[in-house]
Amino acid sequence: MIKPNRERIENVLLQLAQFSDTKFPGVTRHFDSEYYIESRNWLITKFRELGLSPFIDQTGNLFVEYGKYANRNVIATGSHTDSVTGGGKFDGTIGVVGGLEIIRCLIEQNIELRHNILLIDFFAEESTEFGLSTVGSRGLVGSLTNEQLDLRNRAGKTLRDTIVIHKSAVNADTSEVDLTRIARFIELHIEQGPVLAFENKKIGVVTGINGLRRLEVIVSGESNHAGTTPLNLRKDAFMAAAEITVNLRKQWRLADTEKLRVTIGKVNVFPNLSNVIPGRVEFSIDLRAESNEILDSWVHKIEESIYEHCIQYDLSGEVILKSRIEPVMFDSDITDVIKQVTDKLNLPSMTMNSGAIHDSSQMSHVAKTGMIFVPSVGGKSHCESEFTDIPDICYGIEVLANTILQLDRLT
C-alpha cells in the first residue's frame, strides 16, 4: 500500500496556488495567462527534480511518464491546473499534485510496477472567454475541431494562437503520446457539489458523468391592455409558462430526483411591461441525468405538458433542443477496484454520478476510465470559498495510489 505524505501534498498545493492573478480573490490562472505558464514551468522543475522528462503535446497537454517499460501500455492519471476567475486552490490541481505525489512515493519506496504511470496535466480544462472547456483532453483524443481552434477571446486572439504561445513559453520538449498505450485513466477531483459532505462520506466512487439536454421553450399568446381585457379573453403567455414550470417541478418531485436535475434558469417575458399582458415568454429548461433514457423520456414529457397547456389556454408553443451532451459511463472494473481500495482503507464512500464535465469525459472515449471524488465543503466550487480539507485530499490521493497499484496487477 502507498501512504502519501500529507505535509508535502499541502506544500505543493499551496505553492501552486501562488501562481495567480492577484487582481481577483482566490486563484485566477487562466490558460491564456502568464500565471499558467509560470505554474507549469514550476511543475516541470518539480518533475525534473525527480529525474523525469516532462513533455508537451501539440494541444498543450503536459505529460510526464514514470517507469521503465516505454513500450508497454500505461496507466494514466491527472487532471488540470488552469482555473476560472476567482476560483479555488483544489479544483483540478489535486489530480495533478496527487499524481506527482504518487510518483514520488513509488520512487521512495522503490515499488516496481508492471506498467508505466503517465501523469497528465490537461491544457485548458476550464471554459473561459473562448467558451469551450476540456480543450486539452479534446485535443488528445482527437475531437478538437478546426472551428473550435478558430474561436477567439475578447482580445481577438484565436485558441490556436493561444496554444502556440503557451507551448513556446513552456520549458519542455514537444512530443506526442501514443494514445493506444493508454489502457486506463483515473482522475481524482473535488466533488464540486454538496453530496459527499452532506452524506458524511470521504470518497465518491464516480460511476459516470451526467448527460444534458437544454431546451428553449417559446410560449406565444397576445399582448393586450392590462386594464380592459377580462380573464376569459386573455392570451397570457406568462401565466401559462408559470403553470408549466410549477407543474414540471411537481412532476420532478414525484420522480427520482436523485437521478435527474431540472433547472429553469433563464426567463424572458415580452414586452416585460407592468401594464401589458405578456404576449410571449421564452424560457430555458436544463435537464441532467445519468442516462439518455431518462433524459429523452423527460424531454417527451415536457413537450407534451407544454402543448397541453397551450391548447388549454389557446396559445402556441414551441420547444427547441438547443444542446445535447451524451452521458458517460465509466468502466465498471475500475469502479469496482476504487470501491475495494476504499473499503480496505476503511473510508466511508458512496457511488455517485458527476454533475459536472471533466477531462475524464473525453478520456472515456479512448481508454477505460474512472473517477474519484473528495468532498467539497459546503458544496462550493468555482469561487474563492471553494475548500476541501487537506486530510480529505490525502485520502483521495491514497485511494488513487492504491487503485493504480491494484490495476497494475491486471493486464
Reference 388, options 399, 379, 397, 398; nearest CA is 379
Quick check: 160 and 149 in contact, CB under 8 A? yes
252, three cell numbers: 420532478
AA letter at 109: Q
How far is residue 360's CA from residue 185's CA, in Å, rounded to a whole number?
A: 8
Min dist CB 15 to Zn ion, Å, is 19
How far is residue 209's CA from residue 339's CA, in Å, rounded to a whole number?
A: 17
Question: Considering beta carbons, is residue 184 or 189 the nearer one to Zn ion?
Answer: 189
Min dist CB 4 to Zn ion, Å, is 20
- Cα dist. 407→24, 118, 232, 340, 401 in Å? 41, 14, 68, 12, 10
Question: Considering beta carbons, is residue 203 or 371 the nearer one to Zn ion?
Answer: 371
Contact region for Zn ion (CB under 5 A) — 27-35, 90-98, 142-150, 256-264?
90-98
Question: Considering beta carbons, is residue 92 or 211 the nearer one to Zn ion?
Answer: 92
Contact region for Zn ion (CB under 5 A) — 92-100, 206-214, 305-313, 368-376?
92-100
393-395-399-401 Cα dihedral, nearest 10 degrees: 70
Per CB under 5 A, contacts with Zn ion among 254-293 are none
Question: Considering beta carbons, is residue 54 or 136 the nearer one to Zn ion?
Answer: 136
Question: Considering beta carbons, is residue 92 or 221 the nearer one to Zn ion?
Answer: 92
Reference 380, options 126, 30, 29, 89; nearest CA is 89
Of all residues in the shown chain, the one whose CB is closest to Zn ion is: 92
- β-partners of residue 263 are 286
How far is residue 323's CA from residue 381's CA, in Å, rounded to a whole number?
A: 24
- C-alpha angle 47-53-58 in degrees, rounded to nearest 5: 105
Question: Considering beta carbons, is residue 91 or 392 the nearer one to Zn ion?
Answer: 91
Quick check: 189 and 358 in contact, CB under 8 A? yes
Q: Taken in order 260, 377, 266, 251, is the CA torsion positive or negative?
A: positive
Interaction between residue 82 and Zn ion (CB under 5 A): no
Contact region for Zn ion (CB under 5 A) — 83-91, 141-149, 233-241, 283-291?
83-91
Query: SS3 for 253?
Result: helix
Total residues contacting Zn ion (rule CB under 5 A)?
Answer: 2
Query: SS3 for 9?
Result: helix
Min dist CB 167 to Zn ion, Å, is 22
To which H or E segment does residue 70 belong? none
Contact region for Zn ion (CB under 5 A) — 64-72, 84-92, 98-106, 110-118?
84-92
Min dist CB 206 to Zn ion, Å, is 13
Question: Considering beta carbons, is residue 133 or 245 the nearer one to Zn ion?
Answer: 133
Q: How far apart are the first and last CA of the chain?
A: 19
AA letter at 296: D
Q: Give yes or no for a cis peptide into 271 (omega within 30° of 0).
A: yes
Min dist CB 122 to Zn ion, Å, is 9
Reference 306, options 243, 254, 260, 361; nearest CA is 243
Min dist CB 358 to Zn ion, Å, is 6
Contact region for Zn ion (CB under 5 A) — 87-95, 140-148, 271-279, 369-377?
87-95
Question: Considering beta carbons, is residue 92 or 99 the nearer one to Zn ion?
Answer: 92
163, three cell numbers: 496554444
Quick one: which of 4, 54, 88, 92 contacts Zn ion (CB under 5 A)?
A: 92
Min dist CB 234 to Zn ion, Å, is 48
Min dist CB 92 to Zn ion, Å, is 4
Question: Considering beta carbons, is residue 163 or 357 the nearer one to Zn ion?
Answer: 357
Question: Considering beta carbons, is residue 57 or 91 the nearer one to Zn ion?
Answer: 91
Interaction between residue 95 and Zn ion (CB under 5 A): no
Interaction between residue 91 and Zn ion (CB under 5 A): yes
Question: Considering beta carbons, is residue 234 or 382 the nearer one to Zn ion?
Answer: 382
Reference 371, options 379, 380, 381, 361; nearest CA is 361
Contact region for Zn ion (CB under 5 A) — 65-73, 88-96, 203-211, 228-236?
88-96
> Footprint of Zn ion on this chain (CB under 5 A)?
91-92
